[in-house]
Structure 1
Amino acid sequence: MNATQEKERITARVSSAIAELLNEAADLVGTTMNNFVVQAALKEAQRVIDREKAIYVSRNDAAMLLDLLDNPPAPNVALTRAFERFMKEKYGKESSSAGQNAQYERV
């Protein structure tokens, strides 16, 4: 471990009843109240991050998404026009695949 590692300080004001409860829990697991609070906060922070970053879908929805990835629908008129407009604005040229294979053109 790096001895010059910077450390931050976190302070919290709690009632004496909460402080007693945290001290008792820390004593029961054989650690300091500070370490107990930090570990509990880390565990909760990781749980929140995991929950917020995950996307949960049903089996049916997952099957539908995989099917769409394997068999994408053909581009509709609006998508084809948008692609043509993008190619013209970004590269100053018309797409060589006017509509039918626009989704497969490599840019």
Structure 2
Amino acid sequence: MPRVAIETSSRFPMQIPAAEKARLMRAAALERTSLKDFVLRNALQAAEAVIEKAERLSLDEEQTRFVLNLLDNPPKPNAKLQAAARSLAARK
């Protein structure tokens, strides 16, 4: 999982080309909001979408049935799993 950047300041300096800033300003004006509010609102929506996609697992029907079957009927532990369990128990 990626590390989260921790900053002590709430400032977010950013330089963008004039044409892109003008386009953002036009969009903000069309929504009757400030440039800051427009950019922040849309950036947060995009951030939520990225986080949701990264953290949520989607399975189709076949995959769901496979996982549920494994939960109901787990396979017998193999030698590696048994060795790992013994190793973990020995550490405690």
Structure ranking higher on relative contact order (CA contacts 8 Å, 6+ apart): 1
Do these two structures clear the TM 0.5 threshold for a shared fold by scoring above it?
yes
Task: Give the SS at the match of 2:62.
Answer: helix
Structure 1 or 2, whichever has the larger Rg, is: 1
Stretches of structure 1 that go unaligned for 5 or more consecutive residues are 1-5, 92-107
In structure 1, the residue matched to 2:68 is 66
In structure 1, the residue matched to 2:5 is none
Stretches of structure 2 that go unaligned for 5 or more consecutive residues are 1-7
Report the TM-score when normalising by structure 2.
0.77
Q: Following superposition, which runs of at least 4 residues in structure 1 exceed 4 angstroms of deviation?
A: none
What percent identity do the matched residue pairs reach? 31
Report the TM-score when normalising by structure 1.
0.67
Matched, 1:48 2:50: yes
32 and 7 in structure 1: CA distance in 2 versus 1, 3 angstrom threshold: farther
Partners of 1:54 and 1:80 lie apart in 2 by 27
